[in-house]
Amino acid sequence: MKTKNILLVIGMILMMSPAFSQSFNDYLEVVRDVLNTEKKAAVAETMELSEAESGPFWALYNEYNSKLYNVHTERVNIIKDFAASYESMTDEKADALVNRSLAYQTKLLKLNKSYYKKFKKILPATKAALYFQVESKIDDLVNAQLALEIPLVEAN
């Protein structure tokens, strides 16, 4: 599976300097595009879809990932807000960031539950489960990399 390749890409991209792009946001979009391309390749390689499954799967995959992009944008904004507030973190700001993070996790769980049901309508449950395992493993790799890069809050 290309999961190892995704981790390698994440690491390489995170080590690159954003100075090569016009702005940090442009750089971030390039990173997200590369990750999405690598993810799609890993999903394609892992799923081994039949011709009959392929069309409906990729249509739903694109729909799901469009919504997932929007949910993940909130996560990106939380991380950017954390970075901007890191050196001057207050109790109020830390509380607000944790509450936003919990809201993000709730939105993500709701989206995943909704789309798991949709994927089961077009795929056998084992293949729908496989797809969500792949999504979960990729998310775990991203989370692991973020955990390495994002420092802990300094408590008073």
Share of the chain above pLDDT 70, in %: 85
Q: Give per-residue pLDDT as tens, 120-130.
A: 999 999 999 99
Q: Pick 52 or 1 by higher pLDDT.
A: 52
The pLDDT of residue 132 is above 60 = yes
What is the rounded distance in angstroms from the CA atom of residue 89 to the CA atom of residue 87?
A: 6
Q: Give per-residue pLDDT as tens, 31-76.
A: 888 889 999 999 999 999 999 999 999 999 999 999 999 999 999 9
The pLDDT assigned to 134 comes to 96
**Summary mean pLDDT of the chain:** 87
What is the rounded distance in angstroms from the CA atom of residue 38 to the CA atom of residue 58?
A: 15
Residue 36 neighbours by CB distance under 10 Å: 14
What are phi and psi for residue 33, nearest 5 degrees? -65, -45
The DSSP string of 4-22 is HHHHHHHHHHHHS-GGGSS
The pLDDT assigned to 18 comes to 45
pTM: 0.81
The pLDDT of residue 13 is above 80 = no
What is residue 135's three-state secondary structure?
Answer: helix
Alpha carbon of 112 to those of 1, 27, 50, 72, 73: distances in Å?
22, 27, 23, 12, 16
